[in-house]
Amino acid sequence: MPFRASADEYSFLLEHVVDFPQLRGTEKFEEATEDLTAAILSEAGKLCTEVVAPVQRDGDLHPAYLENGVVRTSPGFSDGFKAIADGGWIGMSANPEYGGMGLPMTLTTAVNEMMSGACLSLQLAPLMSQGQIEALEHHGSDAIKDLYLPKLISGEWTGTMNLTEPQAGSDVGALQSKAEDNGDGTFSVSGQKIYITWGDNDLASNVCHLVLARLPGAPAGTKGISLFLVPKLIPDADGNPGKRNGVSVVSLEHKMGLHGSPTAVMQYDNAIGWLVGPEQGGMAAMFTMMNNARLGVGMQGVGVAEAAYQHALEYALERKQGRAGADGKASIIEHADVRRMLMTMKAEVFAARAIGLSCAQAIDMANASKDPAWSARAALLTPMAKAFGSDTGIAVSEMGLQVHGGMGVIEETGAAQFSRDVRVTAIYEGTNGIQAMDLVARKMMDGGEAANLLLDEVEVDIETARESFPNMADSVWQATETLREATDWLNEQTDMNTRFAGAVPYLRAFSRVLGAHLHLKAALAGKGTPREALARFYIRRLLPEHASLLVHAQAGADDLYAMSADEFAT
Please tell me which residue in 429, 449, 457, 567 is annotated as part of the active site: 429
**Could you say which DSSP state residue 48 is in?**
I
227 three-state secondary structure: strand
Is residue 566 a contact partner of residue 535, using CB atoms and an 8 Å limit?
A: no
Q: Which residues neighbour 430 within 8 Å (Cβ) at sequence distance 6 or greater?
A: 170, 290, 294, 386, 438
Q: How far apart are CA 373 and CA 29, in angstroms?
A: 19
Indicate if 429 belongs to the active site.
Answer: yes
User: How many other CB atoms are there within 10 angstroms of residue 195's CB atom?
Assistant: 20
> What is the sign of the dihedral through the CA atoms of 186, 188, 191 and 196?
positive
Q: Are the CB atoms for 272 and 234 separated by under 8 Å?
A: yes
Beta bridge partners of residue 481, listed in sequence order: none
The CA distance from 314 to 130, in Å, is 34
Instruction: Give dist(CA 269, CA 273) in Å, integer.
Output: 11
For residue 440, with 0-12 CB atoms within 10 Å meaning exposed, 13-18 middle and 19 or more buried, which class applies? buried
Helix (H, G, I), strand (E, B) or coil at 543: coil
Half-sphere exposure of 469 (CA within 13 A, CB side): 28
Q: Which residues are catalytic?
A: 429
